[in-house]
Each structure stands twice: as structure tokens, then as C-alpha cells.
């Protein structure tokens, strides 16, 4: 469940070098980056990035002639975190580099480092506010954090990773608040869960200690009983876990004098809490990478297509197949209604245009036709004025077909024609948006049916009995 934020780095009251150095030193800290092994960069050396950023800053000021002083933004700091246990430090570094490249479009230098000083790897990216040729700066736009998170989610989905549903940014950069109800179980939560597992079987204190060791925990027995969970950094005293987990409480639970109601594991709660079914089903299918029809689907749609589908569902608040079907049906109905209006309008426009053409021809050829009738339909006169006479007769035929006893005034027709053209323009203004909405929903619906294996009816193919004739 990738969580991502962006923060601008200002010069402040000190020097530019000091402002940059403070942040780059933190990101490149060897204790957090496995001795510097989990560090990468783009168009700069990670350990001289501070000087290179400073050089491009000065080049920009000389080219543009602008210096904002303390308010000047020198660089931007991005952090990308993941659900515990989903990625290795190396994968986190690679994903961070991909995010940096796609976010800056390859136009800005950046350094990237994966930190391993917490329970799960996370990535820090610092990119230069000035572009590579020193002529422009990155302008942090409104809701840039939303756009960055969307790109981060897309990258994670493309790689089969979890994302946060409906994240809400807190004041400051508190990740625990950011994750809210979906935050990962802490080390103490995991230890409580292991103690509950070890106490699930009847026995004495020694058997409990053996059970904890069997679950991979290290035990320290002295003045205080303490355990270190597998992969944990330090021992945790039982008396710091709550009333039901002190050494005295454990003895009471073993003897049956204390009964603790069973509760769901924090790990299980983390996986199942606030599940939008459709989104989780898709994530599970993508992560699983197998299942009925998946291989056939994968040959037609790659992970990027499915990731875009997932993002579309999230952004449009669609959490169930029924809701997706309802919205796609409504979009189709709205599109069909618009197309009917466009066709009716175009038909009226064509009708008026044709009538105007015949009225104009009728007026221009009326005198010639009168002379033709006065000549007794003389053949020589006809041959001399054939085109005009034929246009006049075609116009009269058109009027008779419409049942017109009196021709409408041209001014009124021109006014009606202009009104219909304006209506057609307005309708076509909505056409592109509705067409795209309809196609996007239908595409998402089709993708979901293929991803989840919905509506897949077995094809009953009749064996074809062919008689092969050898006669010639």
C-alpha cells in the first residue's frame, strides 16, 4: 500500500549549500541505506548531487536573472512507502527510481535511496527544482500531491502491489495518521498475536516458553519477562503490552483464572478492514497472477492496462460490479439519447438546406419557365434553356412532395437554420465527453469481467463431422 508525499525544500535563512546538504545527508545516510548500497541517481552523482544542484541553480539565476531569496525552492523531497512485507529494499529502490523518472519526465536530476531503518523499506527521492539545461524550474502546482500519489499508485498496481484506499493527508507528514485505520500492525501488535497463539494450547509456563521459541521468538527471563519477535530489533517487556499480557496475567491465563476473549489478529485486521470488494478482488487477482482465464486475458491486456482500470475505479468511486454495470448502462443510454438528438437535428438541417436550395432555384428560373409555358412548350426553347427548366421542375416536384401550398419566407428559414446549427454545435460539445465516458466504462467493465473471470460461459462446440471426398 504505497503512501507518497512531496515537500518543497526552501533556502531559508542559511546558505543554499547548507539547505541542500542537510536533506541529502539524511537521504544518503549509510546506516539507513545498507552502507550506501541502496542508493541510485539520475544525471548526477549521488554523493556530489549537492554541488551539481547548486551549479544548476546559479546557472538558472544567471540565465533568467531572478533570485527569490529565502523563499526560493531549491529541490523537492518525495517519499514513497509500501505495505510491510511486499517489497525488498532493492525493489523499493527500483520503484523509487521509476517514480522519479516518470514524475520529472526525465528533465530533472535526482537522487534516490531506499531506507531500511523501519519495519518496511521505503524510498526517498530528492530532485533538482531546476531542469537539466538550467533554463526552467519545476513549478509545484495545485494538488500536486494528488497527482504524485496517483502516479505512485499506478506504478504499484503495474507491479502487483497494494495501494491505500481513499488516503487522507494529515497535518505535517505523520505516516501513521496518513494510513489511518489501514496502518500496518506494530511490533507490539505482532508480539501480542504470537503470545495469544502460544497460549491457545493448555500447558504450563515452561510449555508456553517453548511454544514462543517454536514461533521464532527469543526469550529473556530475568527481573522482567521479555521477547524479541522474528526480525525484531529489540526485546519487548511483557508488562508494556497491556493488562492481559503481563507475566502475572500469562500465568493466570495458563491456570484458567483469566479468560481473554479471542480477537482477530492485527495482521488479519490490516488485510480485511474497510475492503471495497471490487478493488480488493482485482488487486488479489493481479498479485496472484493466475486463475481461470487469466493467461488468456494476459495475452490480450498487460498489467499496465489493468492498473489503469483499477485507478479508474478508485477515482470514480466504483466499488462493486453492480455499480460498474449500472454506470456503464447509464452512460450508454445517455450516449444513445445524445446521438438520437444529433441525428434529428442534422436531419432538420439537411431538410432546410435542401428546401433553401430549391426555393432559390425556383425563384431564379421562374421567368424562364413562364416563357417556356407561353411558347407552348416549344422544343427549341426547351433545348436552349434545358438546365433552367429542369431545375424549376425539380423544385416544383420537391415542393409537391412536401405538400407545400405556400413557400416559407427565406428570412425565417435562415433564422431556423442558424438556430439548428447552434444546437448541433452544443450537442457535439457534449459528444466527445460522453463518447469517451461510455468507452472508458465499457472498457473497464470488459477488463473486470476478464480479470475476475465473470460471465465466462463455456463454449459448447459441436464436433464437426466432415466427409472428405477423394473423388475428382
State whether 407 and 428 are in the same domain: yes
Q: For residues 228 and 244, what is the distance between their CA atoms, to the nearest angstrom?
A: 18
State whether 150 and 37 are in the same domain: yes
State whether 149 and 194 are in the same domain: no
State whether 427 and 364 are in the same domain: yes
Give the confidence band of 300 by pLDDT, cuts at 50, 70, 90: very low
- pLDDT for res 305: 62
- pLDDT (tens digit, 9 = 90+) per residue, 410-454? 888 888 888 888 888 888 877 778 887 777 777 777 766 666 665
Q: Which of 62-66, 134-138, 213-217, 360-364 has the lowest mean pLDDT?
A: 62-66
State whether 77 and 209 are in the same domain: no
CA-closest candidate to residue 161, choices 276, 268, 56, 284: 284
State whether 103 and 199 are in the same domain: no
Q: pLDDT: is 296 or 365 the higher one?
A: 365
Whether 121 is in a domain gets the answer yes
State whether 72 and 170 are in the same domain: yes
State whether 156 and 208 are in the same domain: no
Q: Is 169 helix (H, G, I), strand (E, B) or coil?
A: coil
Give the confidence band of 326 by pLDDT, cuts at 50, 70, 90: confident
Phi-psi region of 65 (alpha: psi -120 to 50; beta: other; left: phi over 0): left
Torsion 327-451-449-301 (CA) sign: positive
State whether 102 and 239 are in the same domain: no
- pLDDT for res 99: 94
Q: Express as a percent the part of the chain with pLDDT over 90.
A: 13
**Count of alpha carbons within 13 Å of 362, Cβ hemisphere only?**
18
- pLDDT for res 111: 94
- pLDDT for res 225: 92
Whether 52 is in a domain gets the answer yes
pLDDT reading at 124 higher than 90: yes
Q: For residues 81 and 87, what is the distance between their CA atoms, to the nearest angstrom?
A: 10
Phi-psi region of 219 (alpha: psi -120 to 50; beta: other; left: phi over 0): beta
Q: Express as a percent the part of the chain with pLDDT over 70.
A: 75
Domain assignment of residue 402, given as a range? 322-452
- pLDDT for res 453: 61
Give the confidence band of 237 by pLDDT, cuts at 50, 70, 90: very high
Cβ atoms of residues 132 and 111 within 8 Å: no
- pLDDT for res 286: 55
- Kindly compute the dihedral angle of the four CA atoms of residues 408, 411, 417, 422, in this order, to the nearest 10 degrees: -150
Q: Identify the domain boundary among 234, 264, 294.
A: 264
Neighbours of 184 (CB within 10 A): 20
Q: Which of 158-172, 277-291, 328-342, 397-411 has the lowest mean pLDDT?
A: 277-291
Give the confidence band of 460 by pLDDT, cuts at 50, 70, 90: very low
Q: How many distinct helices (H) and strands (E) make up the chain? A: 16, 8
Give the confidence band of 273 by pLDDT, cuts at 50, 70, 90: very low
CA-closest candidate to residue 239, choices 231, 255, 250: 250
Whether 142 is in a domain gets the answer yes
Domain total for the chain? 3
| DSSP code per residue over 86-144 | S--HHHHHHHHHHHHHHHHTT-S-EEEEEE-SSSS-EEEEEEESB-TTSS-B----TTH
Amino acid at each position: 500500500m504505497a503512501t507518497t508525499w512531496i515537500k518543497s525544500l526552501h533556502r531559508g535563512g542559511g546558505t543554499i549549500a547548507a539547505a541542500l546538504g542537510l536533506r541529502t545527508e539524511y537521504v544518503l545516510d549509510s546506516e539507513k541505506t545498507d552502507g550506501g548500497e541502496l542508493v541510485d541517481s539520475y544525471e548526477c552523482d549521488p554523493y556530489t548531487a549537492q554541488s551539481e544542484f547548486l551549479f544548476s541553480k546559479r546557472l538558472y539565476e544567471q540565465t533568467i536573472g531572478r533570485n527569490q531569496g529565502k523563499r526560493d525552492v531549491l529541490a523537492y523531497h518525495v517519499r514513497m512507502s509500501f505495505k510491510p512485507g511486499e517489497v525488498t529494499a532493492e525493489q523499493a529502490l527500483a520503484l523509487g527510481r521509476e517514480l522519479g523518472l516518470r514524475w520529472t519526465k526525465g528533465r530533472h536530476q535526482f537522487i534516490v535511496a531506499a531506507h531500511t531503518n523501519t519495519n518496511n523499506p521505503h524510498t526517498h527521492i530528492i530532485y533538482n527544482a531546476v531542469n537539466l539545461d538550467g533554463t526552467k524550474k519545476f513549478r509545484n502546482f495545485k494538488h500536486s500531491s494528488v497527482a504524485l500519489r496517483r502516479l505512485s499508485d499506478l506504478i504499484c498496481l503495474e507491479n502487483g502491489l497494494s495501494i491505500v484506499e481513499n488516503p487522507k493527508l494529515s497535518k505535517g507528514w505523520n505516516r501513521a495518521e496518513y494510513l489511518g485505520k489501514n496502518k500496518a500492525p506494530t511490533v507490539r501488535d505482532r508480539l501480542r498475536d504470537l503470545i495469544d497463539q502460544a497460549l491457545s494450547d493448555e500447558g504450563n509456563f515452561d510449555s508456553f516458553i517453548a511454544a514462543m521459541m517454536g514461533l521464532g521468538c527469543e526469550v529473556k527471563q530475568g527481573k522482567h519477562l521479555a521477547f524479541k519477535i522474528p526480525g525484531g530489533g529489540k526485546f519487548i517487556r511483557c508488562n508494556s503490552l497491556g493488562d492481559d499480557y503481563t507475566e502475572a496475567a500469562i500465568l493466570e491465563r495458563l491456570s484458567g483464572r483469566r479468560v481473554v476473549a479471542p480477537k482477530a489478529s492485527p495482521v488479519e485486521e490490516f488485510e480485511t478492514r474497510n475492503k471495497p470488494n471490487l478493488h480488493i478482488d482485482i488487486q488479489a487477482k493481479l498479485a496472484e497472477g493466475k486463475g481461470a482465464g487469466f493467461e488468456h486475458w494476459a495475452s490480450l491486456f498487460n498489467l499496465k492496462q489493468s492498473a489503469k482500470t483499477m485507478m479508474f475505479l478508485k477515482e470514480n468511486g466504483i466499488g462493486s460490479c453492480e455499480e460498474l454495470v449500472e454506470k456503464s448502462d447509464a452512460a450508454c443510454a445517455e450516449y444513445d439519447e445524445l446521438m438520437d438528438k444529433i441525428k434529428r437535428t442534422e436531419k432538420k438541417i439537411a431538410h432546410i438546406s435542401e428546401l433553401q436550395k430549391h426555393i432559390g432555384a425556383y425563384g431564379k428560373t421562374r421567368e424562364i419557365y413562364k416563357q417556356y409555358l407561353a411558347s407552348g412548350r416549344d422544343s427549341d426553347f426547351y433545348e436552349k434553356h434545358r438546365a433552367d427548366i429542369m431545375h424549376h421542375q425539380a423544385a416544383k416536384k420537391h415542393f409537391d412532395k412536401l405538400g407545400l401550398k405556400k413557400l416559407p419566407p427565406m428570412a425565417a428559414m435562415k433564422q431556423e437554420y442558424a438556430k439548428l446549427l447552434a444546437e448541433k454545435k452544443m450537442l457535439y460539445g457534449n459528444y466527445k465527453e460522453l463518447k469517451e465516458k461510455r468507452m472508458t466504462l465499457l472498457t473497464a467493465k470488459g477488463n473486470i469481467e476478464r480479470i475476475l473471470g465473470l460471465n465466462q460461459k463455456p463454449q459448447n462446440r459441436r464436433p464437426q463431422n466432415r466427409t472428405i471426398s477423394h473423388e475428382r
